[in-house]
Amino acid sequence: MGQLLTYTAQMPDNGRTVKDLLYSQLRLSHSLVVKLKQQHKITVNGAPVFPNFQIQPGDLLAVDLELGEQSGIVPEDLPLGIVYEDEDLMAVDKPAGMPVHPSKRHQAGTLANAVTYYWQQGGRSALFRPINRLDKETSGLVLIGKNQFAHQGIFRQQQRRQVERRYYALVEGVIAPDQDRIEAPIARLEDRSRRRIVAPGGQPAATNFTVLERYPRHTLLRLNPETGRTHQIRVHLSFAGHPICGDELYGHPSPLIARQALHAADLAFTHPRTGQAIALTAPLPGDIRRALAMLLQHGI
């Protein structure tokens, strides 16, 4: 029952088609409606119907979001730090060093492998749909849609900048202003390069930051990106002259930490099914806490 999405028709709905209500009331996309129709997952009062069926007041319109999709990702039994889960969404505190998706370089050991195994153990078959993505060496919250409806619902919120994301980063150098905004367009350096650069012809990008703590040669920041460009925070901070500690792609290695000291700590959004405000938090991981402790202990 958890994958059912329902709507009870009201008096103003008299004579409207199922298709109309799927779009206007349940906020489904065209592609999802097509899949539901093909798999006969649309019912009125328990009986399968076509999208052109006309609704009467009191009718119970229901769609079964369980489409039995096969992802092709190999399940792998890996530790999974689940922060939140319901019938539509799942949030995981991803450790540094774990890629989100399999690739040519990383066929196994990814978050997708771990989530697929977890779902398989629960008798569930679904595509792996991460709503936000983190670099391999960035730790923190990854939100996953357990069905196309939830994924598209949060994606629409992202497009309207209604999803709040907060990161923590330990950067090189002392930043003077307590708060500031970096607005600079980001472009790919070259077709096959991982690197991004600030360039006039790039995509618009903006990152807000607040100073949480200053050290003799470092600064701890809380960041709120307004846009979601690839490597955005890393590129913007390097462009500003304050690369993230340990970021070898946009800065240099650090004796404080063996990876970039960037953590996706907070996510806030509106649940696409219930309309409830959801706020999730993942605490700073051990390696960043140890780096901060070294700064305090040695005054560096």
The pLDDT tens digits for 144-199 are 999 999 999 998 998 898 999 999 999 999 999 999 999 999 999 876 678 999 99
Domain ranges in the chain? 4-64, 82-298
Do the beta carbons of residue 209 and residue 223 sit within 8 Å?
yes
The pLDDT tens digits for 278-293 are 999 999 999 999 999 9
**Residues contacting residue 260 through CB under 8 Å, at least 6 positions apart:** 135, 137, 138, 234, 244, 245, 246, 247, 248, 249, 251
What count of Cα atoms within 13 Å lies in the side-chain half-sphere of residue 74? 8
Q: Is 287 one of the catalytic residues?
A: no
Average pLDDT of the chain?
93
The pLDDT tens digits for 99-150 are 999 887 778 999 999 999 999 898 887 889 999 999 999 999 999 999 999 9
pLDDT of res. 265: 98
Angle in degrees, CA 197, 202, 204, rounded to 5: 110
How far apart are the C-alpha atoms of 168 and 185, rounded to whole Å? 22
The CATH number, out of the four listed (3.10.290.10, 3.40.190.10, 1.10.3720.10, 3.40.50.300), of the domain defined by the range 4-64? 3.10.290.10
pLDDT of res. 226: 94
How far apart are the C-alpha atoms of 223 and 236, rounded to whole Å? 11
- pLDDT higher than threshold 60 for residue 261: yes
Out of 59, 93, 135, 266, the active site residue is: 135
Which CATH architecture describes the domain 82-298?
2-Layer Sandwich (3.30)
pLDDT of res. 33: 93
The pLDDT tens digits for 234-257 are 999 999 999 999 999 999 999 999
pLDDT of res. 41: 93
pLDDT of res. 192: 65
The pLDDT tens digits for 201-240 are 999 999 999 999 999 999 999 999 999 999 999 999 999 9
How far apart are the C-alpha atoms of 297 and 225, rounded to whole Å? 31
pLDDT of res. 1: 45
pLDDT of res. 219: 98
- pLDDT higher than threshold 70 for residue 2: no
pLDDT of res. 214: 96
